[in-house]
Amino acid sequence: MSGQKFTLDHAKQLDNKDELASFREEFYIKEDGVYLDGNSLGLLSKRAEKSLLELLDSWKSYGIDGWLEGKHPWFYLSEALGKMSAPLVGAEPDEVIVTGSTTANLHQLVSTFYKPEGKRTKILADEITFPTDIYALKSQIELKGYDPEEHLIRVKSTDGHLLAEEDIIAAMTDEVSVVVLSGILYRSGQVLDMERLTKEAYNRNIIIGFDLCHSIGSIPHELSNWGADFAFWCNYKHLNGGPGAVGGLYVNKRHFGKTPGLTGWFGSRKDKQFDMEHTLIPADDAGAYQMGTPHIFSLAPLLGSLEMFNEAGMDRIRKKSMQLTGYMMDLIAHELDGYDFVVRNPIEDEKRGGHLFLEHPEAARICKALKAHHIIPDFRSPNGIRLAPVALYNTFEEVWRTVQKLKKIMDDEEYKQFENKRGVVA
């Protein structure tokens, strides 16, 4: 990068070439700030607001008849959103359902596919995955009568940030029943080679599933072509479904007909559900993995949000995302050398997800200083700063402004006015 490329003019030139620039106008953005926490909670879009208000109006207009009447009948809403989500994970429409939450869906899927017998009694995960996955896996192992300390294998990370796929594959022994891994690691943003890992698990007759919370809406997937058995995710990060948005799950069609581990009446075949029989007739597709009544108003924003993703296309989103994070890394290397920041995310484009991860001894107070300047990062204990320039609404100029402000905060020691301690929610 020449010196000219570190200028504000260059950032503006990059924005002028941005073929996704028009999508920024779809979002509610505070023009005096920079929002870089879309990998925790995406911003509200005007389309998501519109679809939420439409569903609210359907309640007002139809009452209970809203289950079958109106533009978006509630009875089929989870299935409709599953079809809209399918292109984002590379699945067939009937392999995806929008339902539950990340943890509830993980419990559902593991209770279905974890069938310990003989030597195959263990679940394989890793030691740096998001805590909720470990909590759920331990719970499922205990429910089967096993000791999690012995039957939950956690692949080690050599540096506490990245995983070596060779180590994961080496841990796929004949004692493993199920593998659960993240598509993108939540701290470092490392993208795992899901296709390779799926093939290795398949060759060993091991069921494999993926947590896509940080990868859906950030990178393209080909779950069906890869042959993954299952996947689950939240919809409030890159997909901008709103706080507490309903989650999603994928089940490969080769498993259709399998009775879910946790059954509920909304997993019924649609034409049989209101027969009110005490013998469940499950749906013939991923809809079988639903349990209770869908949360209509937490589903509604996704109608607008997913529409935008299918218009933008994941290939274009991924291309811009890599450009944004690559540009930010170049600026950090140029402007912040000597300030004790350590880049912990992968440098290679194909191995890096939609956010950067910096470490600094004063990370908590640096994040507070950024927020005082209306720049919103994400702190991760004990000393991590996540920065997520999102393709649909962040700009190259915002990336440039953020790094310049970060340099000023360090030069002027502004961070010292804050306590180096996380808040209740961090």
Q: Which residues are annotated as a binding site for pyridoxal 5'-phosphate?
A: 102-103, 130-133, 211, 214, 236, 265, 293
Phi and psi at 117, nearest 5°, equal -160, 150
* Integer Cα distance of 381 and 243 in angstroms: 22
Contact 144, 174 (CB under 8 A): no
Hey, what are 226's tokens? Answer: 């890869």
Classify 251 as helix, strand or coil: strand
Rounded CA separation 113/264 (Å): 17
Cα separation, 285 vs 256, whole angstroms: 6
Q: In Å, what is the CA distance from 141 to each residue of 31, 101, 209, 251, 395? A: 49, 20, 16, 21, 45
Cβ within 8 Å of residue 242, ≥6 positions away: 44, 48, 52, 236, 298, 301
Q: Which residues, at least 6 apart from 179, have a Cβ–Cβ distance to it below 8 Å?
A: 123, 124, 125, 168, 172, 197, 201, 206, 207, 208, 209
Q: Kind and range of the H or E element at 55?
A: helix 46-62
Count of alpha carbons within 13 Å of 139, Cβ hemisphere only?
A: 14
d(CA 281, CA 294): 18
Beta-strand runs (E) in 85-242: 96-98, 122-126, 152-155, 176-182, 207-211, 230-233
CA distance 258 to 252: 11
The runs of H, that is alpha helices, within 160-295 are 165-170, 194-203, 223-226
Q: Which residues are annotated as a binding site?
A: 102-103, 130-133, 211, 214, 236, 265, 293
Question: Can you say how many angstroms the Cα of residue 238 is from the centroid of all Cα atoms in its chain?
Answer: 7
Q: 195, 172, 194: which is closest to 122 by C-alpha? A: 172
Residue 356 in contact with residue 328, Cβ under 8 Å?
yes
- Whole-angstrom distance, CA of residue 72 vs CA of residue 393: 27
* Amino acid, res. 411: D
